[in-house]
Amino acid sequence: MQYKTLGKSGLLVSELCLGAMTFGNEMNEADSINMIHHFLDRGGNFIDTADVYVGGESEKIVGKAIKDRRSEVVVATKVRMRVGPNPNDFGYSRRRIMEGVDQSLKRLNTDYIDLYQLHVWDNITPIEETIRTLDDLVSSGKVRYIGCSNFLAWQMMKALSYSDYNNLVRFISIQPQYSLITRDMDREILPLCKEENVGVIPWAPIGGGFLTGKYKQGETPTAGRLSHGVGESSWEYRANNKNFEILRAVQEVAQEIGKTPVQVALNWLLNKEEITSPIFGASSLEQFEENMGSVGWRLSESQWNKLDEISKLPSEYPTRFLEKFKR
């Protein structure tokens, strides 16, 4: 396992991040704890969860698993989504964040959170209020670093600018959806992250299961995550001709080198300059082992370029216009 600094910080995180969304839902507590220990034993140190995953059960399971190994682990969690019926049970107000961090600390059974992330932009709370609250949490020691997730480029830049201008804590990372079949972040987020030295920890790095190769074109699935997914994770969203072209290229490369499509898709991400640590999830130890098999080797330059070329976004304005004026 290799390690990378997370954005503009000295924090070292493993090149793969273990996602905890399945813990307490698709996986029972005992198996989830076992998987976390396997991950730590294999050199992984980065675990991502959120206050709303399985109604808080995910955080509780992570807390139990790392109880005697806390110093080994970089724990990331999130705040923003609705956690109760009251008007102030969601968002980024000072009240909600202060309550949320204490609730997460209790569930995680720890006295600090390594990376506290804003889950989705809040169009109600001024970002000034949010950043100042997060700065207080870092000063208090309850939080070590902050990040964001699912932000637009202007939203992240607004927050970074406010932090820098006022000498307050700034985001060291962003958690966007990103994979060979979802490269929308190439337009503005990834260039911004490179410019501002913000780490990128993608979710859905294998397209919500699409890049496993178990789904067939023209056949609506009746089992698996995409059979019941909604929105970004729905079959209707994933099952287009372009994505199946990308999948076929992944399968061709996998066959050439004796790896699985999952391992190839993850390895492509691991060797992309802007990416820090893809977040993988697993609902069984078998899936976990397959994901872990993506480290310790590299796609050849021609293989990597083949996948990059077939999956890249079409040329568009203003990017294609600005390319003419690069110096």
Model confidence pLDDT, tens digit, residues 173-216: 999 999 999 999 999 999 999 999 999 999 999 998 999 988 88
pLDDT, residue 229, reads: 65
Specify if 163 maps to a domain: yes
Q: Is residue 147 within 8 Å of 136, Cβ to Cβ?
A: no
**Cα separation of the two ends of the chain:** 38
**Cβ neighbours, 10 Å, residue 27:** 25
Specify if 315 maps to a domain: no
Name the domain count of the chain: 1
Query: Which residues are within 8 A (CB) of 70 and not within 5 positions of it... i.e. 6 or more apart?
Result: 110
Q: Name which of 126, 103, 125 is nearest 113 in CA terms.
A: 103
Specify if 167 maps to a domain: yes
For the cut 70, the answer to whether the pLDDT of residue 227 exceeds it is: no
pLDDT, residue 228, reads: 63
Helical segments of 68-217, H only? 94-108, 127-140, 153-165, 189-196
Specify if 324 maps to a domain: no
**Length of the chain as a residue count:** 327
Active-site residue numbers?
A: 53
Specify if 246 maps to a domain: no
pLDDT, residue 101, reads: 98
For the cut 90, the answer to whether the pLDDT of residue 237 exceeds it is: no
Q: Please give the residue range of the domain that contains residue 147.
A: 3-210+274-297
Most confident stretch, 82-96, 255-269, 311-325: 255-269
The predicted model gives 13-32 an average pLDDT of: 96
For the cut 90, the answer to whether the pLDDT of residue 236 exceeds it is: no
CATH of the domain at 142: 3.20.20.100
The whole-angstrom distance between residue 180's C-alpha and the CA centroid of its chain comes to 14
Half-sphere exposure of 232 (CA within 13 A, CB side): 15
Query: Which residues are within 8 A (CB) of 303 and not within 5 positions of it... i.e. 6 or more apart?
Result: 253, 256, 257
Specify if 143 maps to a domain: yes
pLDDT, residue 55, reads: 94
Provide the pLDDT confidence category of residue 222 given band limits of 50, 70 and 90: low
Task: Please state, for a pLDDT cut of 90, what percent of the chain lies above it.
Answer: 84
Helical segments of 123-260, H only? 127-140, 153-165, 189-196, 225-228, 235-238, 241-257
Mean of the per-residue pLDDT values for the chain?
94
Specify if 21 maps to a domain: yes
Specify if 144 maps to a domain: yes
- Angle CA 168–174–179, to nearest 5: 170
Q: Is residue 16 within 8 Å of 280, Cβ to Cβ?
A: yes
